[in-house]
Amino acid sequence: MKYIGPKVHIDLDRLENNYNLLSKDLQNIPIMATVKANAYGHGAVEVSKRLERLGVRYLAVFTIEEGIELREAGIKTDILIYSKLNNTALNEAKKYNLTLNISSIVDLDYLRDFEGKSLRVHLKIDTGMTRLGVSHYKAETFLKEAAQISSINIEGIYSHFSTGDEGNLSYAKKQLNRFNKVVEIAKKLNIVPSLIHCSNSGAILNLPESRFNLCRVGMLLYGAFPSDEVPQDLSIEPVMTLTAPIVEIRDVKAGTPISYGGAYLTNKDTKIAVVQVGFADGVPRPWYTRGYVKFKNKKFKITGRICMDQLMIDVGSSDIELWDEVTIFGSNSNGTISINKIAKEIESTTYVIVTGIGTRPKKILRSKLKPNQG
């Protein structure tokens, strides 16, 4: 049976190029690659295998289950778990050699009772995100207590910016100042973790002084910028491209309402094509007001509200034909539609777009390497 539907193309060679560009820009400061949420929809196992082959220093996921998935796929690289400590999974963390995020005094209480040895941990400090992490003004007590627990190896200390990808960096700089003070407190207590990290993709570009000796990179690896308020000099390329086929073309008269609510009316006699992809597959519904697809480097306007499974475009008198594949976003021979542009137009983020890809699109991997080479 022939597959007729949306396809998500993952270009691992572009991932490699992006990684190499970032490594050069970071002047070889090691990278912690964030591959949580299925590597932002790109495929955690495939992405991690390629990055491991390139020598990435660390991987990071959100849940312990995500970490176990990578281990069972044969990934040997160090893996940090970002989520709140799951005290019922300490044995699994030890078994699969996963590094735990310690973000509260309560977490330390759980670790005191652990009968195993040498659980690897990174201590998280809240410098102003107000999410996970011990508040910076309680850091000294937290560090002292952590240092007394024999079952853990304090490998890292870190924090997270809340405005590192914004134009106004005053708050991010305040966070950085707070984190620097915590690092100094740790040194005075003779706690010297081998890894200190604070930069995410936005801060790498906006606040180079926050890079320390490890940088957490997510969106930049996947070929998009975290916002439109960061320098965009790096020649990264989108790793993900979404395409879909034309499944019907019909002639319509001027004044014909298109899609739900009749929000779009044709202004002349034209041809409307139905594309087999919708918001259930990851096309942001608000994009219809200004959105378009591309075919042979030509733009075709989305006409009317995007449906769950399909969307319509005005193809006019073009040579577009039934079963032709149009580009929804990404970059291929049809041209480029940047998810940064889409995110800006619909007042969303690139993160929301790439992680919104549904389960139906067929995944197609592109790689110069053989499957067993990553």
User: Would you list the DSSP string of 69-80?
Assistant: HHHHTT--SEEE
Alpha carbons 121 and 253: distance in angstroms, whole number: 65
> In order of start, what are the domains of the chain with their CATH numbers?
12-217 (3.20.20.10), 240-366 (2.40.37.10)
Alpha carbons 212 and 197: distance in angstroms, whole number: 6
Alpha carbons 100 and 117: distance in angstroms, whole number: 13
User: What are the pLDDT tens digits along the chain (374 aa)?
Assistant: 999 999 999 999 999 999 999 999 999 899 999 999 999 999 999 999 999 999 999 999 999 999 999 999 999 999 999 999 999 999 999 999 999 999 999 999 999 888 777 899 999 999 999 999 999 999 999 999 999 998 899 999 999 999 999 999 999 999 999 999 999 999 999 999 999 999 999 999 999 999 999 999 999 999 999 999 999 999 999 999 999 999 999 999 999 999 999 999 999 999 999 999 999 999 999 999 999 999 999 999 999 999 999 999 999 999 999 999 999 999 999 999 999 999 999 999 999 999 999 999 999 999 988 766 66
Alpha carbons 114 and 105: distance in angstroms, whole number: 15
Q: Which of 7, 19, 36, 264 is catalytic?
A: 36
pTM across the whole model: 0.96
Q: Which of 174, 260, 296, 299 is catalytic?
A: 260
| Environment class of 43 (CB within 10 Å of its CB; exposed 0-12, middle 13-18, buried 19+) | buried
Is 36 a known active-site residue? yes
Alpha carbons 341 and 34: distance in angstroms, whole number: 23
Alpha carbons 83 and 103: distance in angstroms, whole number: 9
Is 264 a known active-site residue? no
For residue 79, the cross-strand partners are: 59
Give one DSSP letter per residue of 277-342, joined into a string: --GGGT--GGGGGT-EEEETTEEEEB-S---SS-EEEE-TT----TTPEEEEEEEETTEEE-HHHH
Q: Select from 340, 132, 124 the least CA-distant residue to 223.
A: 340
* Helix (H/G/I), strand (E/B), else coil: 216: strand
| DSSP structural state of residue 209 | G
Positive or negative torsion for Cα 36, 129, 19, 54: negative
- CA distance to 169, 175, 188, 226, per residue, from 203 (Å): 9, 11, 27, 10
